């Protein structure tokens, strides 16, 4: 998982992403200006137009004492320990869940399947990212 709603990647990662057909993923040109006012124009903004609500409400640990946030008819929960809905996963082709934004969660994590994670994004922390296994979350 990546923490954060959307991420910015470089040209190399974008090229690797283009080898796949990830549902609901949109990539836009972006410019990153660092702390030294250096412009990095070889960047790309990744965003998802839909979320995949696939976490299991029975086996995940999430805030139940406070009502979920409701926006646009959708409930967003604070999740403390994430477990996927295995029945839903069995019905969803792997190609449709290799990379997605988690639905039903306030945090809206970006989830990458372990089979593509380092192929596309490289190894952490060399790339500046921190990966968290869902089983460790």
pLDDT tens readout for residues 94-113: 999 999 999 999 988 899 99
- Whether 20 is covered by a domain: the verdict is yes
Q: Is residue 34 part of a domain?
A: yes
DSSP state of 15: H
Give tens-digit pLDDT for 25-54: 999 999 989 999 999 999 999 999 999 999
At residue 1, the pLDDT reads 44
Count of Cβ atoms closer than 10 Å to residue 6 Cβ: 14
Taking alpha carbons only, the member of 111, 126, 125, 118 closest to residue 7 is 111
Q: How many structural domains are present in the chain?
A: 1
Residue 38: its pLDDT value, please?
96
- Domain-embedded: residue 79: yes
pLDDT confidence of residue 127:
67
Q: Which residues contact 31 (CB under 8 A, 6 or more apart)?
A: 39, 40, 41, 43
Short-list 39, 49, 35, 41, CA closest to 6 = 49
- Quote the pLDDT of residue 4: 57
Place of tokens 């809206």: 108
The verdict on pTM exceeding 0.85 is yes
Residue 14 and residue 44 in contact, taking contact as beta carbons nearer than 8 Å:
yes
pLDDT at 122: 86
Neighbours of 58 (CB within 10 A): 6
Q: Is 1 within a domain?
A: no
Report yes or no on 15 lying in a domain: yes
* Domain membership of residue 87 as a residue range: 7-136
Does residue 33 lie in a domain region? yes
Extended strands (E) in 88-131:
99-101, 110-112
């Amino acid at each position: 998982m990546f923490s954060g709603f959307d991420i910015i990647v470089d040209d190399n990662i974008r090229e690797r992403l283009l080898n796949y057909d990830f549902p609901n993923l949109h990539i836009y040109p972006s410019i990153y200006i660092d702390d030294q006012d250096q412009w990095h124009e070889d960047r790309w903004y990744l965003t998802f137009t839909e979320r995949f609500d696939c976490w299991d409400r029975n086996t995940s640990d999430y805030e139940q004492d406070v009502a979920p946030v409701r926006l646009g008819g959708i409930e967003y929960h604070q999740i403390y320990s994430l477990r996927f809905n295995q029945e839903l996963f069995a019905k969803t082709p792997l190609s449709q869940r290799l990379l997605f934004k988690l639905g039903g969660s306030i945090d809206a994590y970006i989830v990458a399947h372990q089979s593509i994670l380092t192929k596309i994004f490289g190894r952490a922390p060399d790339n500046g990212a921190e990966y968290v296994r869902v089983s460790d979350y």
